[in-house]
Each structure stands twice: as C-alpha cells, then as structure tokens.
Amino acid sequence: MATKIKYNKIFINNEFVDGVNKKYFATINPATEEKICDIAEGEKEDIDVAVEAARAAFSRKSEWRQLSASERGKLIYKLADLIDQHKTEIATLESLDNGKPYLVSLNEDIPFAVSVLRYFAGLADKYHGKTLPADGEVFSLTRKEPVGVVGQIIPWNYPLVMAAWKLGPALATGCTIVLKPAEQTPLSALYTAALSKQAGFPKGVINVVPGYGHTAGAALALHPHVEKVAFTGSTEVGKKILQYSGQSNLKNVSLELGGKSPLVIFDDVNVNEAVQIAHDAIFANHGQNCCAGSRTFVHAKIYDEFVKKSTELAKARKVGDPFRECTQQGPQIFGPVQSILKFETMDEVIERANNTEYGLAAGILTKDINKALEFAQAVRAGSIWVNAYDMLAPQTPFGGFKGSGMGRELGPDALNEYLENKTITIKVPSTH
C-alpha cells in the first residue's frame, strides 16, 4: 500500500532536521520487505543536541516552566485530539511500519493511545505535596517537582501506544523529553512529534531522535544531563540501562521488560469461553506482546477438550495482508507459541506459575472467588486478571516484579516516576 511519508527526519526544537552526520537508514514494511522510506539516523551528536534543547526548555524561566499545571493539561488534550483527528493516516503508518492489521491500529491502538493522553492531561493539576506535623517549632511541607530532562526509549510492538504511555506522565508533570523510537518503527512517533508542534508545545519540550539502540539509545541512557530514563523492551537491554545509570549520573530508571506470563484455567469454567480468552491472550498483536499469556495451565479434567478446541481455533486464524479486513495475523518478527500445560491442584499451579525469572502478568479463569483471590495474592506479578486477560486501562498501573522490570506506567503511580519529592521546613516563632 503506497503512502506519502511526510516526516522522516529528527525532530528537535519543533523542527525536523537532518542528523549531524547526515546519515539515513531504511524503515522496512515487514509485510512486503520493501523500503517505506529513509529515516534520518540519530547518533550521539544528535542526542547531545536534543538534550540541550530539552534542558533549555526546562530552564527555570522558560515558557514551558512558566505554564500552570492546568495549561499543561490543555496542551496534552490538544495533542490527544489531533492524534484522534489524524487517526486514519497514523493507523496507516503504524501498520505499514509494524505489520499489524490496519483495523487493529485504527480501532484499538490509536483509541487507547488517545485515552492514555487524555487521562494524564486530566491528572496534570491533580498531584500535590503534603503538609507535615513535624516535631519542633517548624512548619514542614513537601513539594512535587518534575525530575527534569527525561530520555524515553520505546519498542516496536506497540509504537504509538508506548509513545503515549511515556509522553503522558512526563508532560503532565512538567518534564521535557528526548524520545527514541524503535529503529524498526519510527513513523508514528515522528508524526506525533509534528502534531505536538501544531498543538502548541513550546520548543524543546518534545524531541524525537530515531536511531539504533547501541548508538542513539546508549547515548541517551549515558547522558549526564538526562535525569531519568524510561525504557520498554527486553530484560537484557534493561540491565544495560541500569548499568548506564551507574556509569553516568545515577539517573532515575523505570523499566517495563519481558514476561513469561501464566494463564491458569480451572475446570469450573465454560470451556469455549476459556479457549477464546486463552487464544486472545497469546495471539493478540501476533503474540508480540510482553505480557502475552504464553504459559496456559489447564486443569486435568478439561485438558484434552481444551487442547482440541484451542488447536482448531489456532488453525482457523487468518494470516495475510495487514490491510485486508479479514486479516488477523500479519507478518512476524517473533510469533505466538501457546504452551498448554496440565495441572491438578492450586498449590501445584501457583508454584509453577511463580517458577520463572519474570513477573509481569498472570491470569486465572474460575467461577470460585476464593480460588481467584488465593491465586491473585500468591502469584508474584504486577498485573493479575481474573476471568479475563490483558485488560489494560489508562487508570490501572502496569509494570513488573522480578526480571520484568521496575516502576509503573499508567494510573496515578506513573506520575511518581517523573517527580522528585522536595521537603521544605520553615522555622516559626515560638508561641510561648
């Protein structure tokens, strides 16, 4: 499907520019393996320029820092509205670049990204510090302040959604941003950057530098003037991000990493409904989902029936051109593997569910509320879904235990990842 690419350069200070070294790389349509266009390749020198732009935008008397919290919220609302208004073009870019079905991009990913931005727009003036009953003749309070310049590194599997997850809380709290999209899928982030200028964000608040992880990404994570890095991707790279923090300025780090998530199905469920939930848990987004339900534990009493019906449903899945309405599965980068495992007791399945280095998500299907609560309390994962799977909302915090990361995205908790907590203590005259 041919489409004209409007934005293929680095976005700094509200302008699209070539990289310092004038390099370009190709972004490829995974469905056809043909080049979509050439993208300006950001490297360390470009990260340096972008960080300086973000630092200037964060300076004490800058236009951005002088805005009230409610005014920041209005700008985020405008950006969300513009994404919604341009959703057909953005969905086309998303599916060209990523390979996911166009109708999924249009009807699922973009609405979710818009809802996330609107949620954080509404939170921009709703976080605050506290007054404290400190001992002594003092008046003490805390103040929530933006951490500063933040580096944000997003993956290729949900390009626009992951950009919204990162941009929303950072902008709501008053930070400035250098965002590096995945080299495989830079188009929607660059389009969003153009819309941010149209929305009225001041220069330097949002900067987007496409490039490779080992060059642009590493330079961002190592930069001494970046105060925080938010990364979504593999556990292997997440460990490097932590190392880079220690090697540079001990910058704050939040990580949303991989998973090997269990979905446990008891024998009191409707088997047909359970088969569909488990199918969607692993096959959604082609299985290219960090919290995919890749370990399906099924009670021994319904195991054989479940396997038979799951196999039939998987075979019926329609693979093809992402721009055909009937397509459920486009091209893979990596694919879904549904491991269906038999279990008999709750104690057994809890032990097996926890027997992994990861702890991103888990699900349980049962009509027994006591079983559901026992499972939800015992399994070490950041999100537990009962009689559903992968039910995310802007209001619900998302993140992992163990090797699945640290920190939270979405929900009010996400704001804390971008805030410093300052204590102010004032000596007051004695009343004696």
Phi, psi of 309 (to 5 degrees): -70, -35
The helix or strand, by DSSP H or E, that contains position 15, with its residue range, turns out to be strand 15-17
Q: In terms of Cα–Cα distance, which of 233, 342, 343, 330 is closest to 283?
A: 330
Helices assigned H by DSSP within 215-291 = 218-222, 235-247, 271-283
Query: Of 183, 256, 409, 417, which one is the catalytic site residue?
Result: 256
Please give the torsion angle defined by the CA atoms of residues 35, 160, 328 and 324, in that order, rounded to the nearest 10 degrees. Answer: -50
End-to-end Cα separation, the chain, in angstroms = 81
Helices assigned H by DSSP within 135-183 = 159-173
Among all chains, which residue has been given the structure tokens 């929530």?
A: 144
Q: Which two tokens stand for residue 268?
A: 């009191």
Would residue 409 show up in a list of annotated catalytic residues for this protein? no
Where are any strands of DSSP class E within 123-205?
131-132, 138-146, 149-153, 176-180
Cα(208)–Cα(50) distance, integer angstroms? 8
Q: Which residues are catalytic?
A: 256
